[in-house]
Structure 1
Amino acid sequence: MAASLLSHGMRRCSARTCAAAAVAVRRGLSSAAPPSVFTRLLLKLNNYFYDVEHIVGWNNWARTLLVRSKNTFFGLAQQNFGDNVAAAYYILTLRGSFRFAGQSEWFRPDSSGKFSYDFMSTPDTQIEEVDLSGTIINHDGLDNLVKQNKLQSLSLRGCPEVDDWFLARLHVFGESLVELDVSHCPCVTVGGLAALQNLRKLQRLDISGLSRLQSPGLVRILLEEMLPHCRVTGAEYEQGLIQPDTREPTEEDHEATSANTGVRHL
């Protein structure tokens, strides 16, 4: 019975505290006394962390499922209503906003995610500006927008699923895109920014707040070399290039300074 109880306890333990709990339980079983407070506490913590790990795993699985469902290809909508209406519907379901070419009105959902279907009245008009800031768009969802060859402005600010593969696929807008905002996208690296060389019409690019850029200043220089007609914002030239000397001056430094001062006086 003791062996079976120990085996059951081992299965319930998480990887971080399994060994400690097993030792405590074994000591408790080897004596006639009931389990100590410390042993009971260990077992309780094991159960707690076991449940937390499962909750975290379930949460990651649920988020992955949500991202996939939100970025499915709206093929049926394209067949029934055309590319423009399907793209507009996709943007609104992500809680993004857009503006049709030749119109000043922006279509956007309300605070609860509901929106009007007035955009369906102009099925032959393409989208010119899109704001998907903070949404969960990913590279799969981009399939819903690739037919918008008049797209001039795209904001992806703070999109957690936008990565280098996503930026590489933006080449489909190489002859139309003028403004692009990829600021505060945590998955974007210098490799994805290098793929923007295909956006030959790009005039404004925001790269501020990209946590995975080690030398934003150098990246800005490279982007401006790659896209000479584009104004790159969000990074200063010296950012990440000049490393300040924070160490305390040594006696050798003082001697070198004195020697240099003497040479200048001579």
Structure 2
Amino acid sequence: MSHDLSKMAAPMLFQHSRGFILLCYTSLRYRSKSTLPTPGPVKSKFLQYLCDRFYDIETIVDFGKRLRLWNAQRKNRYNIQAKNYFGENIAAAVFVLALKGSIRLRGKTEWEDQKGGLVFLQDKDTCLEGANLSGSIINYDGLDNLVNQRNLKQLDLSRCPYIDDWSLSRLHNFADTLQELSLAGCPQVTERGLACLHQLENLRFLDVSDLPSVRHKELVRILLEEMLPQCHIVGMNYPEGVDLPLDSDKHGGEIEEEHQGGAGSQKKREVSI
């Protein structure tokens, strides 16, 4: 009987002392952690504030992105009122200046910006020969304000964050006049957009430097030289070990000779690359 009572008392004793054991373990664990350096009160409050406001900060950042996109869309709208009042040419010039760009008018060599005033508004026959929109927020819709400019010779779209492949597909409207084009530093331009430039038959200068979304730049340069043999292309170099001329005019002449020589010369060139 006594043996049975001892067997029953052991688990009961463990059950009643379980809370005491847990308390001792927690106390020892707290003492071991208390030896570590704790962050200061200012840092602790700042970290706690970030934890509490994490979702608020994420919401604010998202709202800021949407606000910038909305502002870009607003400023790129086609200005019908300016077109009806001033005419297509002057409205295009006003649009470029509104995006903090600069313009070059027909018959002039100097570039004008907002600081120079809007004296050209008095001349109804004013038309653009050059538009510098470098670093602006112009996008696909904003090109509606320029596509009817039939005298545009120079267009600078370098470092424009919203210029993409779809935007480049609209440049065919300048096929008869555009001579100089800069797309340097446009993060959204890819090979597909550059392929649309084959319609710019009068292009003489093309800057395609610093395009992070374009892969195999040396092959893209060969493609551009095939499409635009009369154009001087800068910004994409051939890989080391490839002995090809960098002069676009000479290269254009060699392209014509290869086409006359048939497919054999073209295959030979591909093997050498």
Fold shared by both chains (TM-score > 0.5): yes
Which residue is 2:72 aligned to? Answer: 67
- After TM superposition, the runs of 4+ consecutive aligned structure 1 residues lying more than 3 A away are 40-46
- Correspondence 1:36-185 to 2 at 5 A: 44-110=49-115, 116-185=117-186
Distance 1:69 1:41 in 2: 38
So what's the TM-score if we normalise by structure 2?
A: 0.69
Which residue is 2:196 aligned to? Answer: 195
Which residue is 1:230 aligned to? Answer: 231
Distance 1:154 1:42 in 2: 49
SS of equivalent residue, structure 1 residue 107 = coil
Shift of 1:49: 1.2
What amino acid maps onto 1:74 in structure 2?
A: N
- Over 3 Å counting, the alpha-carbon distance change for 1:41 and 1:119 in structure 2 is closer
Which residue is 1:25 aligned to? Answer: none
Distance 2:206 2:72 in 1: 26
Write the deviation string for residues 179-233 of structure 1: whole angstroms up to 9, x where unpaired.
Answer: 0000000000000000011111111100000001111111111000011111110
Residue pair 2:161, 2:186 contacting (<8 A) in 1 also: yes
Residue pair 1:107, 1:119 contacting (<8 A) in 2 also: no
RMSD: 2.0
Distance 1:89 1:109 in 2: 9
SS of equivalent residue, structure 1 residue 106 = coil
- Correspondence 1:11-22 to 2 at 5 A: none
Shift of 1:41: 8.8
Distance 2:223 2:173 in 1: 22
- Over 3 Å counting, the alpha-carbon distance change for 1:125 and 1:41 in structure 2 is closer
Number of residues paired by the alignment? 200
- Over 3 Å counting, the alpha-carbon distance change for 1:92 and 1:41 in structure 2 is closer
- Over 3 Å counting, the alpha-carbon distance change for 1:53 and 1:118 in structure 2 is same
Distance 2:48 2:203 in 1: 60
SS of equivalent residue, structure 2 residue 161 = coil
What amino acid maps onto 2:130 in structure 1?
A: E
Which residue is 1:245 aligned to? Answer: none
Shift of 1:177: 0.4
Gaps of 5+ in 1: 1-36, 242-266
Write the deviation string for residues 116-169 of structure 1: whole angstroms up to 9, x where unpaired.
Answer: 121202221210011100000001010111111110010111010110000000
Gaps of 5+ in 2: 1-37, 40-44, 243-273
Distance 2:196 2:109 in 1: 31
What amino acid maps onto 2:238 in structure 1?
A: Y
Shift of 1:53: 0.5
Which residue is 2:270 aligned to? Answer: none
Shift of 1:42: 8.2
Distance 2:197 2:215 in 1: 18
Larger Rg: 2
SS of equivalent residue, structure 2 residue 97 = helix
Residue pair 1:190, 1:213 contacting (<8 A) in 2 also: yes
Structure with the bigger percentage of helix = 2
Which residue is 1:21 aligned to? Answer: none
Distance 2:110 2:193 in 1: 32
